[in-house]
Structure 1
Amino acid sequence: MKKALLLTAALIPMLAVAQSKKFTITGKIGSLNAPARVYFDWTDFQNAGGGKEDSADVVNGTFKFTGEMSGVATCRMALAHHGDGKMKAVYTGDVIYFNFGKENITITSKDSLSNAVFKGSKIHAEEDAYNKEIGGTVMAITKQANVDFSAGTAEQRADTNFIKTIDQRFRKRMHDRTAAQLKYAKEHPNSIFGLIALSEAINASRDMDQIIAAYEGLNPQFRNSKKGQELDKRIKSVKLTTPGAEAPDFTMNDVNGKPVSLKDLRGKLVLLEFWASWCGPCRAENPNLREQYKMYKDKGFEILGVSLDSDKGKWVDAIAKDGIPWIHVSDLKGWSNEAGILYGVSGVPAGFLIGPDGKVVGNNLRGESLNKKLAELLNQ
C-alpha cells in the first residue's frame, strides 16, 4: 500500500508538468543594456485567439517573457537596440516572427534577434523543417527579391524589364510555395503546420477541391481548434466569393457616418478593396488604383474601400495623404471588421471585382492583373 502511495506521489509532479500551460522565453543578445528594449506580441491562435503584448528592458543582453496558453502561439518579437520605440523596431529594425508552444525556450545571438539560435522548442524546430519544405517564409522570399534588385547595376534598376523579371521570379516562388503548402497539409495531417499551411494557402489558391480535401484530412484536434474553425468559415466564405457567385451584401458607414450598402452600387463594375492605413502594400497599390479610377470612373467603374483600421484619425489621414477619391467605409473594428469576416479576409490588400449584376467576376486582382481585367471588361 505504501509503495502504491509513493508511486502516486511521484506521478503528481509529472502530471503537473504535463498539464502546465506556462511558457518561458529567455533571450541573450550580446551585452546590450537599456535603453535597449524587446517588444513581444503574441496570439494563442490554435485555441484561444486574441492578441497579447508585452515588453522588457534588455539587461546585460538578457530579457525574459512568461505567460500561459492552451495551444500553439504565433508571435512577433522586435528589438529596439537604441530604445527608439516599438514602431521603429517593428517596421525598420530587428524583428522576427515565429511559432511556439508551452515550452522553455532560449534565444541566443551575439548581435541581433534576426541571427538568433533557438533551443528548447520542438514547435520552432518543426517550423524550420516546414519552411524548408515549402520553399521559405514570405519574408525570406521577399528579402531575396530585394537582394536580386540591389544586385543590379544602376542602369538595370531603372530598366522596367529588369524589374519585371525580378517580379516574375518572386511571383513564381510564391506560386510554388502555395503548391508546396497544399502538398504539406495533405501529407502532414497530424502537424499543426498542416493547419497553418492551409490557412495561408487559401489566400492565394482558389483550388477549393484540394483545400477542402486537405482540411477534411486534418487531425480532428486541429479542425476543432479555434484556428481550424476559422479556416472552415473562410472556406465557406471563399465559396461565396468565387467568380459567378452573388457577392454578399453588407452596409457600413462612410467617413461622415453615412451608411453605404454594396447593393447601392448595382449597375456599376465595383472593386471591393479591403485595405488599412497601416498596410504598406495597400498604400503602395493606391497610385495604380488612382490611375484606373480616373481612366474608368466615367465608364461605370467604382471602388468601395473597406478599411480594417480601428483608429478613425489614421484612416481619414491616409485617405487624404494618398488622394484616393472613391467611396470609403469602415466599422473601425480592425481585423474584426464585419465585411472582412463576411468575405473571409485574413490579409490585406484583398480585392473582389463585382459586376453590374452583383456577381463576383474576379478576386485577388491587383497591379497588372487588375488593369488587364478592367481593360477587358470596360474597353468594349
Structure 2
Amino acid sequence: MKLHYLILAAMAPVFVAAQTPNFTLTGKIGNLNKPAKVYFDYTENGNNHMDSADVVNGAFKFSGNITGIAFSRMTLSHDGKGKNNEIYAKGAGDVIYFYFGAENIKVTSVDSLYNAKFTGSKVYNEMLAFDKATGETVMAINRTANLVMERATPEQQKDPEFFKALDVQVKGKTAARKDKLVQFAKNNPDSYFSVAGLTEAFNAYRVPVTDIEAVFNKLSEQQRKTYAGINLAKLIEANSTTAIGAKAPVFAQKDTTGKPIALTDLRGKYVLVEFWASWCHPCRLESPNLLKQYQIYKEKGFEILAVSLDSDKGRWIEAITKDGLTWPQVSDLKGSGNEVAKLYGVTAVPANFLVSPEGKIIAKDLRGEDLNKKLAETLN
C-alpha cells in the first residue's frame, strides 16, 4: 500500500506539469448569452479532443495542452440546439475550421464565429497565407454553394439547369485548388502547410501517389518528420499495397448486429469494398446508383462490402435504413480512425476498391458511370 502511495506521489509533479495548458483561446462574440454555446473539437498528433463552453455576455474560453499543430472545428449554437444542428444546417451554420498551435489566441466578432477575427496565432496567419495561395477550402466552397441553394427561388429549386450551373462552379473552384496545393508544396518545402496541402491533394483530389511522393521527398526533413508528415508517408506506402494488381488486404469487422464479416467470406465473387459514412453527402448521393448496379449484377457474382467511417451507431443504422442499402455493412465505429480505412490508406470518403474473385484489386475509386462501365465489362 505504501509502495503504491510512493509511486503516485513521485508521479504527481510530472502529472501536474503535463497538464499545464500551453494554449488558450478566448472569444468575444457580441453580447450573446445562454442558451448560446460554443463547441470546440480539435485533433493534434492523432489525439481527438472535444470541449464546450457557455457564452456569457459574448465571452467564452478554452485552454489545453498540445504538442504540435492542431486542426480544429469550432461551432457556435446561437439557440442552444447543439453543434450538430449547425454542422448539418440546411443552409450554412455558424461553423469554422482552422489550425492553431501552442499560443494565446483571441477570437472576436460582433455577430458570429464565421465573421470572427483572430489575433495572437502565428499558425492561423500561416494558414491564411496558405489558403490565399491555394484558393477556397472545400468547406468554404460547400458553404457558399449551400447558401446559394438556400436563397434560391422556388422556380430555381425546380430547375435542373440551376443546379447544373452551380455544380460547374463548385467543380471549377475545387479543380483550381487541386493544382495549387501541389505547387504550394513545391514552393514551400519548409512549411507545415505543404504537408497539409499534399495530404489534402491526395485524399480529396486523388492526385496520383507518384506525384505526391515526388514532392513530399523534397520537403525539409523537419516537416517530413512531423506527425502529419509521418502519416502522409504511411499513406504513400499504403497506397502501394493497394495498387491495381496488388492482393487486397484482408480484414474483418462487425456488422450492425455485432456479427463479424470478413473480406475472405466473399472470396469467389467480385467485391466492391466501399468506404463511406452517414455524414458524407457525396457518398449518399451515390447510393441510388449502387443500388441499381447491385440489383443488376448481384446474381452474376457481384457483392458490395461497405465499411463505414461513422462513430455514431445510431446515425450509421439510420442512413442504411433511409437509403435502403441491402448489402453487408461493417464498422468499428472509430470514425476516421477506422482500422480498415488505415489498412487501405483511406482518409477521405467516398473511396472504393473492386476486388476480383481471387482477391486482387482490379480497379479503385469508381463512381457513377465509371463504375457502371467497369462492372459491365467485367460481369457481362
* Equivalent position SS for 1:255: coil
Could you say if the C-alpha distance between residues 220 and 364 of structure 1 is closer, same or farther in structure 2, counting changes exceeding 3 Å? same
Could you say if the C-alpha distance between residues 107 and 353 of structure 1 is closer, same or farther in structure 2, counting changes exceeding 3 Å? same
Could you say if the C-alpha distance between residues 136 and 190 of structure 1 is closer, same or farther in structure 2, counting changes exceeding 3 Å? same
Q: CA separation in 1, counterparts of 2:258 and 2:81?
A: 37
Q: CA separation in 1, counterparts of 2:149 and 2:85?
A: 24
Could you say if the C-alpha distance between residues 308 and 79 of structure 1 is closer, same or farther in structure 2, counting changes exceeding 3 Å? same
1:268 counterpart = 2:269: yes
- CA positional deviation for 1:344: 1.0
- CA positional deviation for 1:161: 4.8
Structure 1 residues 265-302: Cα deviation after superposition (integer angstroms, max 9, x where no partner)? 23322211112334343333322322221222223221
Residue in 2 that maps onto 1:348: 349
Q: CA separation in 2, counterparts of 1:165 and 1:326?
A: 34
Contact 1:21/1:70 (<8 A) preserved:
no
Could you say if the C-alpha distance between residues 165 and 300 of structure 1 is closer, same or farther in structure 2, counting changes exceeding 3 Å? farther
- CA positional deviation for 1:152: 6.8
1:355-370 equivalences in 2 (<5 Å):
355-370=356-371
Structure 1 residues 225-275: Cα deviation after superposition (integer angstroms, max 9, x where no partner)? 222111111111111222222221212233344332223323322211112
1:198 counterpart = 2:223: no
1:263-302 equivalences in 2 (<5 Å):
263-302=264-303
1:258 counterpart = 2:255: no
Q: CA separation in 2, counterparts of 1:72 and 1:315?
A: 31
Q: CA separation in 2, counterparts of 1:128 and 1:340?
A: 30
Could you say if the C-alpha distance between residues 32 and 130 of structure 1 is closer, same or farther in structure 2, counting changes exceeding 3 Å? same
Residue in 1 that maps onto 2:47: 50
Provide the aligned length of Structure 1 versus Structure 2. Answer: 357
Please identify, of 148-157 and 299-308, the stretch whose mean Cα deviation from structure 2 is larger.
148-157
Q: CA separation in 2, counterparts of 1:38 and 1:199?
A: 29
* Equivalent position SS for 1:102: coil
- CA positional deviation for 1:114: 0.6
- Aligned letter for 1:128? L
* Equivalent position SS for 2:33: coil
Contact 1:95/1:114 (<8 A) preserved:
yes
* Equivalent position SS for 1:347: coil
Contact 2:21/2:63 (<8 A) preserved:
no
Structure 1: any 5+ residue segments left out of the alignment? 1-19
Could you say if the C-alpha distance between residues 290 and 115 of structure 1 is closer, same or farther in structure 2, counting changes exceeding 3 Å? same
Q: CA separation in 2, counterparts of 1:61 and 1:149?
A: 30
1:70 corresponds to which of 63, 67, 78 = 67
Q: CA separation in 1, counterparts of 2:49 and 2:365?
A: 30
* Equivalent position SS for 2:272: strand
| Percent identity between the two aligned chains | 52
Could you say if the C-alpha distance between residues 354 and 159 of structure 1 is closer, same or farther in structure 2, counting changes exceeding 3 Å? farther
Could you say if the C-alpha distance between residues 23 and 263 of structure 1 is closer, same or farther in structure 2, counting changes exceeding 3 Å? same
* Equivalent position SS for 1:98: strand
* Equivalent position SS for 2:286: helix
Residue in 1 that maps onto 2:115: 115
- Aligned letter for 1:38? V
Contact 2:41/2:48 (<8 A) preserved:
yes
* Equivalent position SS for 1:237: helix
Q: CA separation in 1, counterparts of 2:150 and 2:82?
A: 28
TM-score after normalising by structure 2: 0.86
- Aligned letter for 2:134? I
Residue in 1 that maps onto 2:137: 137
TM-score after normalising by structure 1: 0.86
Structure 1 residues 62-98: Cα deviation after superposition (integer angstroms, max 9, x where no partner)? 1111112121111111111122223213322311110
Q: CA separation in 1, counterparts of 2:327 and 2:33?
A: 49
* Equivalent position SS for 1:113: coil
Q: CA separation in 1, counterparts of 2:252 and 2:82?
A: 38
- Aligned letter for 2:174? M
- CA positional deviation for 1:307: 1.8
- Aligned letter for 1:197? G
Displacement over 6 Å in runs of 4+ = 150-153
Q: CA separation in 2, counterparts of 1:120 and 1:343?
A: 39
CA RMSD of aligned residues (A): 2.4
Q: CA separation in 2, counterparts of 1:351 and 1:262?
A: 14
Q: CA separation in 2, counterparts of 1:226 and 1:320?
A: 38
- Aligned letter for 2:215? A
Q: CA separation in 2, counterparts of 1:369 and 1:146?
A: 27
Could you say if the C-alpha distance between residues 375 and 159 of structure 1 is closer, same or farther in structure 2, counting changes exceeding 3 Å? farther
Contact 2:136/2:173 (<8 A) preserved:
no
Please identify, of 203-212 and 30-39, the stretch whose mean Cα deviation from structure 2 is larger.
203-212
Q: CA separation in 2, counterparts of 1:289 and 1:306?
A: 14
